């Protein structure tokens, strides 16, 4: 059963200049997730991620546990599914 969801997430904290997008792309691909990640001008990171909810949760947990990353807060909301085949950095 394919229970895919799509989330729009903004991560706040020490999330730029610490390998956040690199880790996100590699882990998301490993988990079979699709979507994208990009830095925002205010120092936060924006992500749209699509896949099974437990795998999205695993991705976020993985990012929270990186050595130099400090996620102080995140805003997440559900979105309609999109047709895409990769996870990439914008």
Q: Is 66 a catalytic residue?
A: no
CA 6 – CA 49 distance, rounded (Å) = 6
- 3, 6, 7, 39: which one is catalytic? 39
- 21, 29, 65, 66: which one is catalytic? 21
CA 63 – CA 7 distance, rounded (Å) = 16
CA 64 – CA 79 distance, rounded (Å) = 22
Q: Is 26 a catalytic residue?
A: no
User: Phi and psi of 7, rounded to 5°?
Assistant: -125, 140
Q: Which residues are catalytic?
A: 21, 39
């Amino acid at each position: 059963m394919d229970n895919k969801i799509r989330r729009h997430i903004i991560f706040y904290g020490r999330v730029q200049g610490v390998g956040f997008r690199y880790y996100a792309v590699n882990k998301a691909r490993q988990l079979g997730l699709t979507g994208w990640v990009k830095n925002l001008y205010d120092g936060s990171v924006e992500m749209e991620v699509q896949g099974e909810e437990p795998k999205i949760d695993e991705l976020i947990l993985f990012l929270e546990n990186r050595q130099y990353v400090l996620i102080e807060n995140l805003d997440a909301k559900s979105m309609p599914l999109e047709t895409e085949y990769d996870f990439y950095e914008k």
